[in-house]
Amino acid sequence: MLRRLRDDRRISREKLAFAAGVSTSYITHLESGDRDRPTLAVVEALVRYLDRIGPVTEIERRHLFDLAGLAPADNPTVEDLRAEITDEMRRTLTLQEPDLAAYVDIRWNVLAGNESYHLAFPGLIDDVNILRWFFGNPLSRKVMVEWERESALTVHWLRGLIGQQGGGTWATELLAELAEYPDFRRIWDDGDTVYGRDHTAMRLCDLRTGEHYTVDVQLFRLDSVIHPGHIQYYLGVRED
């Protein structure tokens, strides 16, 4: 892959090596596959120089990082991730009606949802972040029949997701905001970590009718060329 990108731009190994701050033999080993696990800094330098000579596509960039066994340095905003939600992906949400369906990121921000999802969680479309809604919006305690259980699960899951992503500025900023809520601090301080739901049933209350109902919840991690590992698909199938 690296050699093809270099050849396409008619760059010598020597020139690419100089631009990336490595030796020519290092480039030779990378191209032949004799040297694995180059550092993040080296791969970024290679991509940066190659892109300067001729645009490197997002797929080519992703493939280089995958070959190196590295995740791209990535801290996408909600707007960045929402831009990844295509019209076809939104159509998938609509096709799930009347079940609840949404795309959420690994920081529990809602990127897109169908009408049933937004009706089930009033106020969430404005709050954006599920944890902000849990602890800052009084409606959450009326909607979530098992509020304590679900809020604790989401907080403990956040801890696991932060660990997987290696923390970062986004984690510091989000935790600082959520620390303003006493119930968040109480749950966070218990130190528990989870990596998924140990139960699929989520009990909800329809605030329009007062009816209690159950949805069977599944959450799937989706791939993305530009921001791999950041988007999740939420599906809540309403039980009869």
Mean pLDDT of the region 179-190? 96
Domain ranges within the chain, ordered by starting residue: 2-67, 78-238
- Which pLDDT belongs to residue 143? 98
CATH assignment of 2-67?
1.10.260.40
State if pTM tops 0.85: no
Q: Is the pLDDT of residue 26 over 70?
A: yes
Residue 150 banded pLDDT, cuts 50, 70, 90: very high
pLDDT of amino acid 234:
97
Burial class of residue 132 in the structure, from the number of CB atoms within 10 Å of its CB (0-12 exposed, 13-18 middle, 19+ buried): buried
Percent of the chain with pLDDT over 90: 55
What is the per-residue pLDDT for 87? Answer: 96
Name the pLDDT band for 167 (thresholds 50, 70, 90). Answer: low
Reference 101, options 91, 90, 114; nearest CA is 114
- Shortest CA distance to 140 belongs to which of 123, 118, 115? 123
Would you say residue 175 has pLDDT above 80? yes
161 SS3 class:
helix
Q: Does domain 78-238 have CATH number 3.30.450.180?
A: yes
Query: Rounded to an integer, what is the distance from CA 240 to the centroid of its chain?
Result: 31
| Residue 229: per-residue pLDDT | 80
* Across 56-70, 76-90, 107-121, least confident range: 56-70
pLDDT digits (tens, 9 = 90+) for 30-82: 888 776 678 888 888 998 989 888 998 877 877 787 777 776 556 788 999 99
Contacts of 118 (CB under 8 A, 6+ apart): 124, 125
Q: Is the pLDDT of residue 185 over 80?
A: yes
